[in-house]
């Protein structure tokens, strides 16, 4: 079962990957201090415009590589995982609502003086274009 959930807002996409999917993004530091992909031992190239995320936890691939087609679910396959992921999507959509308030002042109040407004502003200012966030959990 995958614990993958996605939230999209403009150019931002936050994806929660399973343990197996995270291995596709795993890097190690070599003896010279450079980052290398753990799966292929190649140097990590961070040149803008040359790489893209393949999606669905597949890892980083060259920009000119064609995307994989989406596999359609057959009539005999279980819809259980689909319904749980749609549940996560519905929960995530809660955070994508437009700012509350009908007047200009009430919108300003909600944007600057509520936890939700401050969190939205912090997320928008800390995540810039071409920023990769890498989070890891080290084994205990």
pLDDT at 11: 56
Residue whose C-alpha is closest to residue 135's, from 4, 15, 13: 15
pLDDT at 88: 43
Contact 9, 96 (CB under 8 A): yes
pLDDT at 50: 81
pLDDT at 91: 40
Given a cut of 70, the residues of the chain with pLDDT beneath it are: 1-15, 67-100, 124-140
């Amino acid at each position: 079962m995958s614990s993958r959930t996605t939230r999209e807002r403009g150019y931002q996409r936050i994806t929660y990957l399973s343990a197996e999917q995270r291995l596709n993004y795993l890097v190690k530091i070599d003896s010279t201090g450079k980052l290398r992909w753990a799966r292929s031992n190649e140097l990590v190239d961070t040149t803008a415009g040359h790489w893209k995320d393949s999606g669905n936890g597949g890892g980083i691939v060259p920009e000119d590589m064609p995307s994989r087609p989406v596999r359609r679910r057959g009539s005999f396959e279980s819809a259980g995982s689909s319904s749980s992921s749609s549940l996560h999507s519905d929960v995530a959509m809660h955070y994508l609502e437009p700012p509350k308030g009908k007047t200009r002042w009430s919108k300003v109040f909600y944007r600057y003086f509520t936890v939700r407004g401050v969190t939205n502003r912090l997320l928008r200012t800390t995540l810039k274009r071409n920023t990769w966030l890498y989070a890891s959990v080290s084994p205990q």
